[in-house]
Amino acid sequence: MTTPIYYVNDVPHIGHAYTTVTADALARWHRLLGDDVFFLTGTDEHGLKIQRTADANGITPQEQADRTSARFREVWEMLGISNDDFIRTTEPRHITSVQSFMQAIFDNGWIRKGTYSGQYCVPCEAYYNDADLVDGNCPIHNRPVEWLEEDNWFFELSKFEQPLLDWYASNPGCVQPDGKRNEALGIIRQGLEDVSVSRTSISWGVPVPWDEGHVFYVWYDALINYATAVGYGADPERFAEWWPAVHHLIGKDILRFHCVYWPAMCLAAGIEPPHRIGVHGFLLVGGEKMSKTSLNQIFPADLVTDFGVDGFRYHFLRDNPFGPDGDFSYEAMVTRFNTDLANNLGNLLSRVATVVGKKCDGIGPAPSPTSPLAAVSVEAYADTAAAWANMTPSLALEATWRLVREANAHLEINEPWKMEPGPELDAVMGDALEVLRLVSILATPAMPDTCAEVWKRIGLPGTPGEQRLPDAAAWGGYPGGLAVDKGEALFPRMTMPTND
């Protein structure tokens, strides 16, 4: 499972966090399924953009990279990201891997010399055709492009139109969602031109092994990080163990690189392209993409202070359907927090713990095998699992929360707070505890700490993250006879900010 590697010119904002939290949740879901998971993130440290940022800051590009890469690590740690590795493209392991990867493409005869000139957007690190420009500006950054001309090495992408179409035809689920797959196919069908993969105008890059004085264009260095981290060129056995069972998660702005260039590079190097690429839309603020120049960036720490780590994670996973753009709103975040977390999950735990404390001597009873909630849980599990498999976290959490809501409704119908102690009350409470057990497991990818806390409070040993699906999702796993601890409110309700 991979995230894009982030450019080190900019500190992490909630757009970056959105991608990384989603990848983390997917990695955690796969771990629950018992899959072997290697979860990779990192930083993209070469190229003109970084060189210029460093110049502007009066430091070396390496210093710029060291500082900002550390910021990414800190933020991911704060957000509970469970990555197994953190790759930096300036590491020696990556430099040798890029050189062997590109050398393989060269040796296979897919790289030739040529001259390149065109309109270049430095923030994108990409050339644009005149037709792509909007009023002469970069279509993504809406700022002027620059004319660049250089002698380059070219990758013969044009020869990969048919191999790519064939690969897409035999791997129908490789790009998610379908709309993004069609977009990638559209780009390929329009016709592909050879692309320049080296630069002589800059020095901040990986040297081209067969031609001194050239460095690889940053994208051809960056994409290879995914292969480096699992041993490309250094440890063939390890590489074979993981590749091509790779799931990339990316934003829509880098679709062309991941869904067209990267599979072609893999084919050219003689390896299979990655199995899956999930493409999400942008997180907008006030309808605009976040950027340093628009001064509309929101940083994860600002929101974590108000909502906690799990409140933050839950919001971005639940409120942004994977694929389309989503507009961030603090108000929507408060509403979602109060509805789903304070009123639904938090309330379920607090009601159950209160009644168990008052009427069951604080000992949680076992669920009833014939509970009406059993069927609800089967459906909730099936829908949750299908949604994670489709890389749609918002639908997965929606399905899991149907179970939370049904459990609250079950309590409201039975009103255990008015019942006398006895088997009937025990069944109602046992059923609710069983739902809390199930939800702790199913929501662990989104809210690992909260779920571990719920698990502990209902008296279960270990952690929900250690459970294995699908077995752990079978109704009736809560054994009963465990001490239930009410504790503090999980999610104290938030008040809507006023505009003054």
Helix (H, G, I), strand (E, B) or coil at 42: strand
Q: How far apart are CA 179 and CA 187, in angstroms?
A: 13
232 is a contact residue toward ligand MSP (CB under 6 A): no
Nearer to ligand MSP, 140 or 494 (CB): 140
SS3 for 293-304, per residue? CCCCCCCHHHHH
DSSP single-letter state for residue 443: T
- Residue 267 CB-half CA count within 13 A: 21
DSSP single-letter state for residue 291: -
469 is a contact residue toward ligand MSP (CB under 6 A): no
Nearest to ligand MSP by Cβ — which residue?
Answer: 251
DSSP single-letter state for residue 190: T
Single-letter amino acid, residue 286: G
Q: Of 46, 49, 121, 259, which residue is the catalytic one?
A: 121
Beta-ladder partners of 151: 115
Query: Which residues within the stretch 243-282 sit at the binding site for ligand MSP (CB under 6 A)?
Result: 250-251, 253-254, 282
290 is a contact residue toward ligand MSP (CB under 6 A): yes
From 5, 121, 175, 376, residue interacting with ligand MSP (rule: CB under 6 A): 5
Report in angstroms how near the CB of residue 283 gets to ligand MSP at its nearest: 4
DSSP single-letter state for residue 289: E
Query: Which residues within the stretch 30-49 sit at the binding site for ligand MSP (CB under 6 A)?
Result: 44
Q: Of 49, 138, 266, 315, which residue is the catalytic one?
A: 138
Does residue 266 carry a catalytic annotation?
Answer: no
Nearer to ligand MSP, 7 or 475 (CB): 7
6 is a contact residue toward ligand MSP (CB under 6 A): yes
222 is a contact residue toward ligand MSP (CB under 6 A): yes
Nearer to ligand MSP, 225 or 371 (CB): 225
Furthest CA-CA distance within the chain: 85
Residues that contact ligand MSP, how many (by CB under 6 A): 20
From 1, 19, 278, 433, residue interacting with ligand MSP (rule: CB under 6 A): 19
Does residue 49 carry a catalytic annotation?
Answer: no
CB 94, CB 224: distance < 8 Å: yes
SS3 for 368-410, per residue? CCCCHHHHHHHHHHHHHHHHHHCCCHHHHHHHHHHHHHHHHHH
Beta-ladder partners of 328: 285
CB 352, CB 487: distance < 8 Å: no
Query: Which residues within the stretch 292-351 sit at the binding site for ligand MSP (CB under 6 A)?
Result: none
Nearer to ligand MSP, 6 or 110 (CB): 6
Beta-ladder partners of 152: 114
Does residue 13 carry a catalytic annotation?
Answer: yes
Does residue 259 carry a catalytic annotation?
Answer: no
Report in angstroms how near the CB of residue 125 gets to ligand MSP at its nearest: 8
Q: Which residues are catalytic?
A: 13, 16, 121, 124, 138, 141, 289, 292
The footprint of ligand MSP (CB under 6 A) covers 4-7, 15-16, 18-19, 44, 222-223, 225, 250-251, 253-254, 282-283, 289-290
